[in-house]
Structure 1
Amino acid sequence: MNTSDSSKKTILQKFNDALLLHRPWFKKTVKVIWILFLCIAIGFPLYILSVRYNMFGLYGEMPSLKAIENPENDLSSELISADGVSLGRYFRYNRSQVTYEQLSPELVNTLLLSEDRRFYKHSGMDFWSYVRVVWGLLTFDPAGGGSTITQQLAKNLYTLNPEMDGPIAKLGKYPRRIVQKTKEWIISVHLERNFTKEEIITMYLNTTEFSSNAYGIKVAAETYFNKQPDSLNIVESAVFVGMLQNPSAFNPNLHPDAAFKKRNEVLYKLYSYEYIDKSLYDSLKVTPIELKFAVQNQNQGLATYFRNVLRNDLIAWCKEHNYDLWDSGLKIYTTIDSRMQRYAEEAMTEHMTKLQAEFVKQWKLRNRNPWVDENTGGEVKNFLAKKIKRTETYKNLVSRYGTNSDSIEIMLNKKKKMTIFSWKGERDTLFSSMDSLAYYNKFLQSGMMSMDPTTGAVKAWVGGLNHKYFKFDHVKQSTRQPGSTFKPFVYGKAIEDGFSPCLELYDISPTIQVPGGTWTPYNADGTRGSGEKMTIRQAMARSLNSITAQMVDKVKPDNVVDFAKRLGIKTKLDAVPSICLGTSDVSLYDMVGAYCGFVNLGLAIEPYYITRIEDKNGNVIENFVPKTTLAINEATAYKMVYMLKGGVEESGGTSLGLSYDLKKDNEIGGKTGTTDNASDGWYIGVTHNLVTGVWVGGDERSIRFPSWDFGAGTKSARPIWDKYMLKVYRHPETGYKKGYFKRPSKMEGSLNCSDYVTADQDSTYVPDLEPVWKPN
């Protein structure tokens, strides 16, 4: 070997020594690297396939290809008024969808530049974002997450669902996260294949949570800014995009400083990518976040009581038709008119504010509480002590301390911070549970329903004062004694039997035989009557008990019950003489519906409040129509309208005090009602196209008005009807204007006494039951 060969060998040996290629451990390392490479190259795809097809059931189910192509998003069901206004939603997660066209360009651009600026260049996964994340970890300078918008959509739709977890997920947080991430990749690819980029953006914003029970950008925009998504500006858009990383931490209502800082980080990205210039950025970054925050729930908005009552009907309907009210995205179209609903709520608030103040004042002057003993007339003993035992607070304390523990009374009387309802708005105070119970039981309550007598459509429904603080509905759920508002059913039966509205009777209270003795009613003035002779129209107009009792004795109580049932009263009615004074409980809902039969010329029409239900795609699932029956003939019905008009037209009528503007160029009928014990005040008013009823009283029957006169329907309930109707007539766009009642097809001329008193009918009836009281 020559010198040059030897030299080359030496150089080669040195090179090999430098590369360590002759070392055994190096060869093993190379071998391991190759094995790892082959494992990754072959194993990773196999792993992806095993997750995709849930090999051996280890990873949990993947959504089907059909589900990926047609993702099901939890959707709240929406209640819509007759005039197209959203009344509220039924939801587990308050979520509603929008289309891409309903998103403002500022929102879309802010989202893409801040979260995924290569969105239109990748197919679901962004390689360069992963490189950025890895580099950030290696340099201890985290640069944000690597998930694309498509991956985040996949997470929203599927991978966070615990039902899709398999046994591996139960091994701990990290194994579960790895499997979830893998599923995100797989689903992202399928989403990109089956949807356009615009559809993916829209689905992502529709499925994202924005805290404060707002799911999806539509509800979020309404909750935080009282806007629709197409109206969001750059600043508002930056707030929402900033919330995507942590909705609770960057909630502008709960954490305004953190939200402000995060919003400005998003704005800086817009500036750095030259979407906005320096001057605009400098201006926007100091702009405060101006919220119009209002969490959507069942205690806010219009028709809160109606929505709550309707929910039970809808749950039953959904069960029958295999829908989930809470996330099927149903559209429920109602008969409620949002404008009339608002007028009804305003009218009740305006009157009840004043009535409540006077109610409290009058009881204070008497130095008493308003709960009155039926027998003694004094204050009910231990009223609050007995009532507190029916509350959840008391039951929880018993469970905690035991039945006879002194700690129960101590805790019930312990004062704590509390926000309470008042007619001047919510206020903070220090109240114990007993203080709170006493405070709320001194409130008068009210219910109101307005209905179109021709169509059966319920136009307004006010079940109480404030649904947040008083849950019980006083339209359909509550039943109370109707007092004199029940008298038209007595007179209606009499007219059906052939008696004339102009039949003349003496104002003398009869004494009627009843099981165990006799019954003699008194008029509101405490007497058995004046002895004056008058028509039964005048008697009903003045709401005289004496003549009503004479009529029930003539037509018999069981026939009155049948008459009322035919017109729509569904509660149990006792067939006793005192039924003529409204002693059997009824609901305001039934009473308003029954009066409609008079206005509707004898056609009884059941109140209805849903017109149709559509699925989330706008397909009509079911149409609803009112149920009608011919209850009484046209002539009887129209004569009863004439009787009801007597309250407005006859001397001493209980509706004479209605506003002149209501009575001018308009036909009105009405009936007041007040129970003997002064616990209930009623008014039902009728026009040619609206029948509206109002009830006022305490939640408990023992809660009374300070006097019978104070609680009379003319003062407690009629003013609400008056205010409501004035508001309706001032807004003719609702379609409800003044007018005249429908007349029977065979009736000609005007209705007056001479038309209906026949020659063979004695127009004067004096009760023949002894003892008969006669005036001096």
Structure 2
Amino acid sequence: MASFLKKKWVKFCLIGVSAVVVFFIGLYISIYLGLFGKLPTTEDLSSIKQEEATQVLDANGKLIGKYYVFDRQPLKFEDFPQHLIDALVATEDARFYEHDGIDNVSLMRVFVKSIILRDKSAGGGSTITLQLAKNLFGRKHYPIFGILINKFQESIIAKRIEEIYSKNEILTLYFNTVTFPDNTYGVESAAQKFFSKSAKALTKTEAAMLVGTLKANSYYNPRLHLERCEDRRNIVLNQMVKYNYLPQDSLELLTADSLQLNYRSFNHDVGVAPYFREQVKQELAQILDSINEANDTNYDLYKDGLVVHTTLDYKMQTLAEAAMKSHLTKLQPAFEASYGNYAPWKSKSKLLEASIKNLKAYQVLKEKGLSHEQIKDSLSVKRDMEIFNWEGDTIKPLSTIDSLQHYLKLLNTGMLSVEPKTGAIKAYIGGIDYRYFKYDHVSQSERQVGSTFKPFVYTAAIENGMKPCTYFSLAEVTYKNYDDWTPSNSGSDKEDPYINYTLEKALSNSINTIAVKVLNEVGIQKVTEQTKKLGIAKKLPQQPSLALGVAEINLKELTGAYASYLNNGHAVKPYAITKIEDKQGNVIAEFKPKVNKTQGFSNYTREVMLEIMKSTVNSGTASRLRSSYGLQNAIAGKTGTTQDNKDGWFVALTPNLVTVTWVGNDNHSIGFKTTGLGQGANSALPIFANFYKLLNADAEFNAITKSNFDAPSQNVVEDLNCEPEKRDGFLKRLFGKKKKTKDFDEK
């Protein structure tokens, strides 16, 4: 033996082995001492703080969105189903309950195969605790021996973790930090994203699928590679049988079960109610700033696991979005067809040319000295581009100008439904698709409101003593002191100037000439004072066209004002957030409904106006709710159409819900080609009609759909009991003028 050891090659081998051992020992010690970066101490590990997503819940506690840097929702150990734990241990670390963080058998395999033999199929030899160490602290890049240094660091951290935490606590930390497909952190977030359920409700096959994705979460992303993911799930189920976590006879049944995803992205731009979630986020940022300043706290919207309770009804929101899509899918092609070859978004149109010059890309090229034609040539270069389409997003070879033409022609929308007595927002649609249209038509936009303003004129008139059975002539009047302005009516109401309508008949049929006359009678000042009482704070145009809705008003404000007719004359301010909790469940902020303390008008006026707006639905401009859509619910309402058919509106009042819808083009120069297509009854009303039909079909909403208005008082019934119209007598027709000229009273 002694002679063998004296051989030169043996000496070299022993020296080589010793050198390697010394090197590894020295490397390990240097890593332990922090020469390659400070390692977390036991104190650091004892107080691990994980960044957690802020959760946004609907009124019933359903998760509707998150704000996060890392999409993570931590759970407690008792929230994990046993088969989820079994699947993880069987697949990732069969000796988890036996080792102290390091599985020496696996590490030896990695050392021999991966380090020495360079066999990439050797596997990682990693334990759950080692993976946890990597999840918590990540890996750094080192020029040489990077994998070795990181493995040693993780082994040291894993040992310390095992000294501090129990096996159940380690599993809890692991499940709350591990990365699943689509940049999802933690099993709860993954369960919510891929199956729309909590982790505690996962079935055996669902749990096995999620565990299976941990091997390579891009390669096994079930959203993209479902069949591949099923094969991997079956491997996990086999592992569970192998280690006696499942009986053999259940394997065939479980592997035969095809995966059914119920995918819900919590990406900020997609999913349910994206405009609402963005509005909530903006409000939250301001609220948290105030809380932090007042209490010397440091709440972070994206990292501190706050829970935000909102007023939204998830199911109602999904029905509203479906109703909107159903209508706009039909209206858009009709809108395009109505223009034919002379559409304002077609090539060579003045509008298109002006829009091209307003492009940022155009301005950049112009600053570089290019001519108009050169710039257009540059903007005409085609490339593959994903665009919005009602039939489904498509990728087409388009130029910048092609894209501009495409988006110029698209109609957009806004819709808001609130509880009339509180202002609690139940459904909120800010536009047709948040990915492509960030502008919020509920909270940001101000558009002319058209005839939806007329009820405020009539409210002011009745509140100031005008009787509901007051008659006004249909005849057109030219107002000399306003540039000879002559408001006119449309349709059959334009034909006979000798007919006189009551307020009920005039408003339910949206008669322009009479609306201006009522405004003249009551006075602009009293009308604007009335609107202020209803929460519309902005300065309104002091001109007779105000009666026809030339004022640009925010949809949210308009909704709050109309709620007054269902709330004893008190307007409301639509609100979204009810309370905010920290991650321990402590309430850090709470919010109450904001109802105007001042009563905007008397109960008599409210009842009269409600009866008039019921007539709008039963026999007036919104009667297609009854005739075309078959809605027999208790509904009052008002349609609205602006000049040149730029905006279509519908306001729906039901006893427990007020809904306002708007449809139009974001470019104010583009209106509907015809009134028949663009009037509120055709452009905006169908969204509400589709929405309410869906509500009617779901018994969950019976409290809304089956509710009835209170019967009007006897004096209101008597005051409305008159012929809706009367014709001028023979002498008045003989000597009266068909068209009058007068000054508009500027009182």
Work out whether residues 564 and 600 of structure 2, in 8 Å CA contact, stay in contact via their aligned partners in 1: no
Count of equivalent residues: 714
SS in 1 for 2:421: coil
Instruction: Give the 3 Å change call, closer, same or farther, for CA 631–34 of structure 1 in structure 2.
Output: closer
The letter of the residue matching 1:331 is V
Correspondences of 1:205-604 after superposition (within 5 Å): 205-224=175-194, 228-230=198-200, 232=202, 236-254=206-224, 269-270=239-240, 273=243, 295-320=265-290, 321=292, 322-364=298-340, 367-370=341-344, 381-391=349-359, 403-404=370-371, 408-512=375-479, 514=481, 517-525=483-491, 527=494, 530-604=497-571
Question: Which residue matches 2:608?
Answer: 642
Work out whether residues 483 and 674 of structure 1, in 8 Å CA contact, stay in contact via their aligned partners in 2: yes
Q: How far 1:116 moved relative to its partner?
A: 1.6
- Is 1:738 aligned to residue 712 of structure 2? no
The letter of the residue matching 1:368 is Y
Q: How far 1:482 moved relative to its partner?
A: 0.4
Correspondences of 1:139-178 after superposition (within 5 Å): 143-160=122-139, 172-174=142-144
- Is 1:192 aligned to residue 162 of structure 2? yes
SS in 2 for 1:630: coil
Correspondences of 1:644-723 after superposition (within 5 Å): 644-649=610-615, 653-659=620-626, 667-723=634-690
Q: Distance in 1 between matches of 2:679 and 2:20?
A: 95
Q: Distance in 2 between matches of 1:362 and 1:36?
A: 83
The letter of the residue matching 2:33 is S
Work out whether residues 662 and 725 of structure 1, in 8 Å CA contact, stay in contact via their aligned partners in 2: no
Q: How far 1:511 moved relative to its partner?
A: 4.0
- Is 1:50 aligned to residue 15 of structure 2? no
Work out whether residues 571 and 600 of structure 2, in 8 Å CA contact, stay in contact via their aligned partners in 1: no
Question: Which residue matches 1:81?
Answer: 58
SS in 1 for 2:132: helix
**What are the Cα deviations for residues 226-279 of structure 1, in whole angstroms up to 9, with x where unaligned?**
555345556655554444343234435556787677666656655654656888
**What are the Cα deviations for residues 476-513 of structure 1, in whole angstroms up to 9, with x where unaligned?**
22111001101122122222222222333333444446
Q: Distance in 1 between matches of 2:429 and 2:311?
A: 14
SS in 1 for 2:689: helix
Work out whether residues 501 and 753 of structure 1, in 8 Å CA contact, stay in contact via their aligned partners in 2: no
Question: Which residue matches 2:725?
Answer: none
Work out whether residues 159 and 180 of structure 1, in 8 Å CA contact, stay in contact via their aligned partners in 2: no
Work out whether residues 565 and 609 of structure 2, in 8 Å CA contact, stay in contact via their aligned partners in 1: no
SS in 2 for 1:710: helix
Q: Distance in 1 between matches of 2:646 and 2:372?
A: 36
- Is 1:90 aligned to residue 67 of structure 2? yes
Work out whether residues 32 and 156 of structure 2, in 8 Å CA contact, stay in contact via their aligned partners in 1: no
Q: Distance in 2 between matches of 1:712 and 1:627?
A: 33
Q: Distance in 1 between matches of 2:741 and 2:227?
A: 83
Q: Distance in 1 between matches of 2:262 and 2:632?
A: 44
Q: How far 1:395 moved relative to its partner?
A: 6.3
Q: Distance in 1 between matches of 2:264 and 2:659?
A: 31
Work out whether residues 242 and 259 of structure 1, in 8 Å CA contact, stay in contact via their aligned partners in 2: yes
Instruction: Give the 3 Å change call, closer, same or farther, for CA 275–739 of structure 1 in structure 2.
Output: closer
Q: Distance in 2 between matches of 1:432 and 1:383?
A: 18
The letter of the residue matching 1:737 is T
Q: Distance in 2 between matches of 1:518 and 1:35?
A: 101
Using the size of structure 2 for normalisation, the TM-score is 0.83
**What are the Cα deviations for residues 129-182 of structure 1, in whole angstroms up to 9, with x where unaligned?**
33333343456656322432112212212344x8xxxxxx7xx44477666555
> Which protein shows a greater Rg?
1
Q: How far 1:355 moved relative to its partner?
A: 2.2
Work out whether residues 482 and 680 of structure 1, in 8 Å CA contact, stay in contact via their aligned partners in 2: yes
Question: Which residue matches 2:583?
Answer: 616
The letter of the residue matching 2:282 is N
Q: How far 1:117 moved relative to its partner?
A: 1.7
Q: Distance in 1 between matches of 2:41 and 2:469?
A: 77
From 104, 122, 126, the equivalent of 2:103 is 126
Q: Distance in 2 between matches of 1:248 and 1:348?
A: 35
Q: Distance in 1 between matches of 2:147 and 2:352?
A: 55
Work out whether residues 389 and 395 of structure 1, in 8 Å CA contact, stay in contact via their aligned partners in 2: yes
Q: Distance in 2 between matches of 1:604 and 1:439?
A: 40
Correspondences of 1:737-776 after superposition (within 5 Å): 737-741=705-709, 749-752=714-717, 754=719, 771=741
**What are the Cα deviations for residues 165-203 of structure 1, in whole angstroms up to 9, with x where unaligned?**
xxxx7xx44477666555534443443344331232132
Question: Which residue matches 2:92?
Answer: 115
Using the size of structure 1 for normalisation, the TM-score is 0.80
Q: Distance in 1 between matches of 2:255 and 2:713?
A: 77
Instruction: Give the 3 Å change call, closer, same or farther, for CA 410–749 of structure 1 in structure 2.
Output: same
Q: Distance in 1 between matches of 2:19 and 2:335?
A: 91
Gaps of 5+ in 1: 1-14, 52-57, 163-168, 373-378, 758-765
Work out whether residues 332 and 610 of structure 1, in 8 Å CA contact, stay in contact via their aligned partners in 2: yes
Larger deviation, residues 425-434 vs 708-717: 425-434
**What are the Cα deviations for residues 666-719 of structure 1, in whole angstroms up to 9, with x where unaligned?**
543211111121111111121222111111111211111121232111222222
SS in 1 for 2:330: helix
Q: Distance in 2 between matches of 1:405 and 1:195?
A: 70
Q: Distance in 2 between matches of 1:297 and 1:699?
A: 25
Larger deviation, residues 649-658 vs 533-542: 649-658
Instruction: Give the 3 Å change call, closer, same or farther, for CA 102–529 of structure 1 in structure 2.
Output: farther
Work out whether residues 126 and 148 of structure 1, in 8 Å CA contact, stay in contact via their aligned partners in 2: yes
SS in 2 for 1:519: coil
Q: How far 1:389 moved relative to its partner?
A: 4.4
Work out whether residues 614 and 622 of structure 1, in 8 Å CA contact, stay in contact via their aligned partners in 2: yes
SS in 2 for 1:156: helix
Q: Distance in 2 between matches of 1:473 and 1:193?
A: 53
Larger deviation, residues 248-257 vs 84-93: 248-257
Q: Distance in 1 between matches of 2:259 and 2:419?
A: 46
Larger deviation, residues 614-623 vs 461-470: 461-470
Work out whether residues 381 and 399 of structure 2, in 8 Å CA contact, stay in contact via their aligned partners in 1: yes
Q: Distance in 2 between matches of 1:449 and 1:300?
A: 19
Q: Distance in 2 between matches of 1:211 and 1:577?
A: 61
- Is 1:628 aligned to residue 595 of structure 2? yes
Q: Distance in 2 between matches of 1:754 and 1:283?
A: 74
Work out whether residues 113 and 273 of structure 1, in 8 Å CA contact, stay in contact via their aligned partners in 2: yes
Gaps of 5+ in 2: 293-297, 723-735
Q: Distance in 2 between matches of 1:656 and 1:751?
A: 23
The letter of the residue matching 2:536 is I
SS in 1 for 2:179: coil
Percent identical residues: 35
SS in 2 for 1:586: strand
Work out whether residues 264 and 271 of structure 2, in 8 Å CA contact, stay in contact via their aligned partners in 1: no
Q: Distance in 2 between matches of 1:201 and 1:677?
A: 65
Q: Distance in 2 between matches of 1:467 and 1:314?
A: 19
SS in 2 for 1:771: strand
Larger deviation, residues 443-452 vs 243-252: 243-252
Q: Distance in 1 between matches of 2:392 and 2:664?
A: 21
